[in-house]
Structure 1
Amino acid sequence: MGSSKTDFPPIRACIFDVDGLLIDSEDAYTAVTNTILRENNRPDLPWKIKAQLQGRPGPEAGRIFHEWAKLPISYEKFVARNTELQAEAFRHCKPLPGVEDLLRKLQNARPKVHMALATSSIGKNFEIKTGSMKEMFSVFAEDQIVTGDDDRVPKGRGKPLPDIYLVALQTINEHIRRTSPEESEVQPEECIVFEDSVPGVEAGRRAGMRVVWCPNPGLLNEYQGREKEVLAGKTGEHKEEEIERHGTSTIKGSPGHVGEIDDGWAEMLQTLEEFRYERYKIEV
């Protein structure tokens, strides 16, 4: 995985993040957070901090946020207010540009391209956010939707660790074994991870998968000049002390290694409208 590579096999599976990648829910998170910060006379959330929160599981993101925010209210009060505002804001989420077309084309691709979701969002929030987009999300089988509170993901092993993406691949391969045993199982290098966050890109690279990074312009501005590091998974989002805190994983293929600069395993797109199927040998 470390060396530059151009002879990739055709892509047989696509695994998607959700927030800020398929739907505009990252904007909702920011609006809610800024409302609470302003109510407590604190400055708005800067991209420098938001970049660290994106893609991470709730507890880890919460720890980073509260160390920065130093809110004058109790944690319980914060959680109650946050939950109340999010429940309303999440109901208004919409698909991001190019998403519906991409999912439809992948669903109809021949040979078949398998699809799964891997989101750090807890199941309840995922349901609220996607409630008005049931048809769009129907391309994902229920057992191939992996959320942040999914029992199949070891506790404390969220992004930037690769476990959630490896679990998503396991769900795809379980489906293949169940429905078409004559088909070979999908290998990590036959998968694309679609991500908007920096920890998410690192998780995909550690899983040994190819990655399409589609960042928010605000995030891209924060990583200006470091885009190649992000694509290699080499920004150091995962610290060694986190391994000690989270323990080792029981998932096959984890924890995995990041890539190298310009190794051909990842690319950046401004929006998913730019996705090039032929680059990945996908026929639509």
Structure 2
Amino acid sequence: MKQIKAALFDFDGVLANTEPLYDQYWDEAGIRYHTGIPHFAAVIKGTTMSNILKKYFSDRTEEERQQIQAESEAFESHMPFPPVPGSIEFVRMLKENGVQVGLVTSSENKKMKRAFKEMNLEGLFDTFVSENRITKGKPDPMCYLLAAEDLKRNPEDCIVFEDSFAGITAATRAGMRVIGLSTTNPEETLKDKVYKVIPNLQNCTFDDYLSWQK
């Protein structure tokens, strides 16, 4: 019998419903930092902080870049982590059925350490990839390829759960099948980029997961 594919999950917008909080913060920050980019949050969604600073603030002084990062970290230090309906239960159900599960995020360890504690995620994932382990963030496939390597799986033997365009591109470039969650972007903008679009993981069953492998 063929081995069941591993499941890799993004964090923001897939496990935690934090994207609305980020949208408000970064849209306001885009104005405050004079980026000149409308809806700045949508432009940077799914990318690492180091990439944001490099791509959009390379013309600023080192002091300004440090201030931008410090303000972002201060925001993340107290932000709540409301779970996306059904997501944590779905991950636990897969784990109970012998599926390898991994968490792949553009977030830093400091934020994720608090999230693991507050959301009771310690010991749940078989691998964890964050900004601290990668040199190229999403949409580069490095993060997902690293997770597959951790699990000793080929990329085609992994299913990825993503919500952002950058994350979907990263997983696709890695050669993985993607299930898109329309928690952040409308279904019609995702359906031509992923294997299947679902609103969230609430009420999804193990049979559903098996059907996504065919």
Aligned residue for 1:149, secondary structure, equals helix
Counterpart of 1:166, as a letter, is: L
Report matched runs for 1:1-284 at 5 Å: 11-36=4-29, 46=39, 49-64=40-55, 66=57, 74-89=64-79, 92-109=80-97, 112-134=98-120, 136-141=121-126, 144-150=127-133, 153=134, 155=135, 157-173=136-152, 186-217=153-184, 219-220=185-186, 224=188, 226-231=189-194, 266-273=195-202, 275=204, 277-281=206-210
C-alpha deviation, 1:275, in angstroms = 3.4
Instruction: Say if 1:50 and 1:276 are closer, same or farther in 2 by CA, change over 3 A.
Output: farther
Instruction: Say if 1:96 and 1:43 are closer, same or farther in 2 by CA, change over 3 A.
Output: farther
What TM-score comes out, normalization by structure 2 length? 0.81
Counterpart of 1:145, as a letter, is: F
Q: Check the 8 A contact 2:46/2:138 in 1, yes or no.
A: yes
Instruction: Say if 1:21 and 1:100 are closer, same or farther in 2 by CA, change over 3 A.
Output: same
Aligned residues, how many? Answer: 207
C-alpha deviation, 1:44, in angstroms = 10
Please list the CA deviations of residues 69-100 of structure 1 after superposition, one character each: whole Å capped at 9, or x if unmatched.
x9xx93333333322222122xx212110112
- Which of 1 and 2 has greater Rg? 1
Q: Check the 8 A contact 2:180/2:190 in 1, yes or no.
A: no
CA RMSD of aligned residues (A): 3.0
Aligned residue for 2:119, secondary structure, equals helix
C-alpha deviation, 1:117, in angstroms = 1.1
C-alpha deviation, 1:281, in angstroms = 2.3
Q: Check the 8 A contact 1:98/1:271 in 2, yes or no.
A: yes
What TM-score comes out, normalization by structure 1 length? 0.63
State percent identity of aligned pairs: 26
Paired with 2:93 and 2:33, the residues of 1 have a C-alpha distance of 46
C-alpha deviation, 1:54, in angstroms = 1.8
Counterpart of 1:57, as a letter, is: T
